[in-house]
Every structure is written in structure tokens, then in C-alpha cells.
């Protein structure tokens, strides 16, 4: 059976996350239903990462096995037709080796979190950012972020229901930038690692927001990490500002 890599973009707002569920609408279930319109049977696709409810993606990667050989462009066009009107799009498609795996072949995952500081309610960006009203100190947040870069036990910054075998992960990059927007400022948190723990990004961003607001010091982040205790974590921020930005492979199937 030919295997195809799919690059996927979606708005996570109406979905109960990526992973298929019998009683709720999910991104995986929506794509598998579209595949069933092309080849009527049960389909099971695998993704590079299982995003939570409300989390968006600009470069999620999945693979699908088909019974017949499809031209990749025609497959993506057909899927996009059957995905309508769901806020999901296949932005690229490529045939890959039968042993290529969207999850296990991935070398790195990159996430972006958008945090909007603005007094007036967000209008055009509603649902696409996490909005707060208090001013944030970029320098303080970056100092706190620097303590998290590298190989650490991230027990403090992972969900209590995380199923990962080990809390030890290597965070290769955590950089923060600010961008002026009408009536406010948008902060971008860029995180890069081979893999992430459940709720790790949202736990980190929620904690760093407290640093930026002055409720925590950068040193408090170091102490929280060393505590290896979920209770030491700051508040977990909401999902709507989080994007799975891209996934890196040794050989980019879409190059």
C-alpha cells in the first residue's frame, strides 16, 4: 500500500484535539472521514504530535496508507474538497517510503505561542491568541526562559496525566520576541525540541507570563524547575494561542 505524508493546517477551536474519539469531533477523525470518501473503508492515520483541544497547527504532519497509487497533488485536492467546511487544510502531500512514520521519523517539533497584551478585546485575533491586559517585561521573561533550555527533569511543567515514560526532555530553544500590534503588543514564544511532554508548552508559557507581569522573578522559574513538583508550576495558559508550527525530518518529504 502506498504511503503518503500530509502537511496539515487547522484551527483547533471546534475540535476536541487531534486524537480520534468516538463521541467528539477531532482533527484525526475528520481527516479519516475524508479519506473514507476517497477509498471507502476504515482509515487510521498517524501524526507527529497529538495536539490538545483548542490547539492550532500550521505544519502538523501525518501519514496515510492508501490502496491505490495517487498523484500527491490530486490526493491533497480531493481531501481538501471532502474536508469542507471544517477548518482543516492539506497544504502539501508527498509519497514516502513504506517504513516512513510521521511520529517516529521526526527529529524535532517546533511550537509557537502567541500572547496578546491589549486592553480592548481582540476582534480579528479572537480565538487565535491568549489575551492578557497587564504589561509584560520581555527581558524578565527571557531570563526565566533561559533556565529551562537544555536537558532537565520537567516534572513541574507536565500534566499529571502525561503518559510519557520519563519527564526528562531536552529543550533546544525557548526564545521570546515582541511585536507591536494595534492598541497593544504581541509576544511570540518559540520552542524547539525533539519531543514535548503533555501540557509542557502551556505550563511554561503560563509560568513565564507571571514572570513578565512581575508576580514571579526569573529565579522563581529556576526554583520551580528544581522542585520537580507539579504544584510548583505557575498557571497553565489556555490553548488558543498555541500552534504546532513545523516538524523536522532527516529528509523533508515535501522538499
Could you list the active site residues? 52
C-alpha atoms less than 13 angstroms from C-alpha of 16 in its C-beta half-sphere: 9
Question: DSSP for 184-213?
Answer: EEEEEEEEEES---TTHHHHHHHHHHHHHH
Q: Is residue 3 within 8 Å of 64, Cβ to Cβ?
A: yes
Give which of 242, 155, 138, 143 is closest to 190, Cα–Cα.
242
Residue 233 burial (10 A CB sphere; 0-12, 13-18, 19+)? buried
Compute the chain's Rg from CA coordinates.
19
Q: Are 135 and 43 in contact (CB under 8 A)?
A: no
User: Does the CA dihedral 225-231-232-237 come out positive or negative?
Assistant: positive
Amino acid at each position: 500500500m502506498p504511503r503518503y505524508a500530509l502537511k496539515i493546517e487547522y484551527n483547533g477551536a471546534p475540535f476536541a484535539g487531534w486524537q480520534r474519539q468516538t463521541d467528539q469531533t477531532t482533527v484525526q477523525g475528520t481527516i479519516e472521514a475524508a479519506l473514507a470518501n476517497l477509498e471507502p473503508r476504515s482509515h487510521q492515520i498517524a501524526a507527529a504530535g497529538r495536539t490538545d483541544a483548542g490547539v492550532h497547527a500550521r505544519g502538523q504532519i501525518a501519514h496515510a496508507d492508501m490502496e491505490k497509487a495517487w498523484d500527491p497533488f490530486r490526493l491533497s485536492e480531493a481531501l481538501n474538497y471532502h474536508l469542507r467546511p471544517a477548518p482543516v487544510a492539506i497544504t502539501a502531500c508527498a509519497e514516502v517510503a513504506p517504513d516512513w512514520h510521521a511520529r517516529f521519523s521526526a527529529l524535532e517539533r517546533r511550537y509557537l505561542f502567541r500572547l496578546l497584551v491589549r486592553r480592548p478585546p481582540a476582534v480579528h485575533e479572537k480565538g487565535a491568541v491568549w489575551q492578557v491586559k497587564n504589561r509584560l517585561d520581555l527581558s524578565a521573561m527571557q531570563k526565566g526562559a533561559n533556565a529551562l533550555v537544555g536537558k532537565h527533569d520537567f516534572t513541574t511543567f507536565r500534566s499529571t496525566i502525561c503518559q510519557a515514560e520519563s519527564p526528562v526532555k531536552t529543550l533546544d530553544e525557548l526564545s521570546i520576541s515582541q511585536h507591536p500590534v494595534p492598541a497593544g503588543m504581541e509576544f511570540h514564544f518559540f520552542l524547539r525540541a525533539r519531543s514535548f511532554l503533555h501540557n509542557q508548552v502551556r505550563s511554561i508559557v503560563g509560568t513565564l507570563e507571571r514572570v513578565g507581569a512581575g508576580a514571579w522573578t526569573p529565579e522563581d522559574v529556576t526554583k520551580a524547575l528544581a522542585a520537580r513538583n507539579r504544584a510548583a508550576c505557575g498557571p497553565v495558559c489556555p490553548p488558543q494561542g498555541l500552534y504546532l508550527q513545523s516538524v523536522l525530518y532527516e529528509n523533508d518529504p515535501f522538499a
